[in-house]
Amino acid sequence: MIHLLSWRGRGYIALFAIIAAVMIGIAAGAWSEHWLLLGMSVGWLFAGAICWTLGRRWNAEAVRHVFCGMRLQRWAFVFGFFGLLLLPIAINAVRYKL
């Protein structure tokens, strides 16, 4: 079964978290191009924190809130991975103004 852009319960929060992460990066990039990657990294980490917190609370008793076939709190690991992957690159870009 294809789960692309499908959700159950409040799983749509993960989609909003993706949009928010990208918007934070764009806003930081508009302020200064050197801060674009750092904004994206912080945005992904923020999205992961939101998904983890809300997913653990809402799915405590039963799995009701799912996005693309995965529990909402598991998306925190995906978003956190992207955030942590971009973080050292972003810090070097800001430090050396690449």
pLDDT for 22-69, tens place per residue? 999 999 989 887 788 899 999 999 999 999 999 999 999 999 999 998
| Count of structural domains, the chain | 1
**Maximum Cα–Cα distance for the chain, whole Å?**
48
- Answer whether residue 38 is part of any domain: yes
Instruction: Give tens-digit pLDDT for 62-94.
Output: 999 999 989 999 999 999 999 999 999 999 988
- Give the helix ranges, DSSP H, for the chain: 12-31, 36-58, 75-96
- Supply 86's token pair: 């971009």
2: left (phi over 0), alpha (psi -120 to 50) or beta: beta
- Answer whether residue 1 is part of any domain: no
Whole-prediction pTM value? 0.88
Domain that residue 73 falls in: 7-96
- Answer whether residue 2 is part of any domain: no
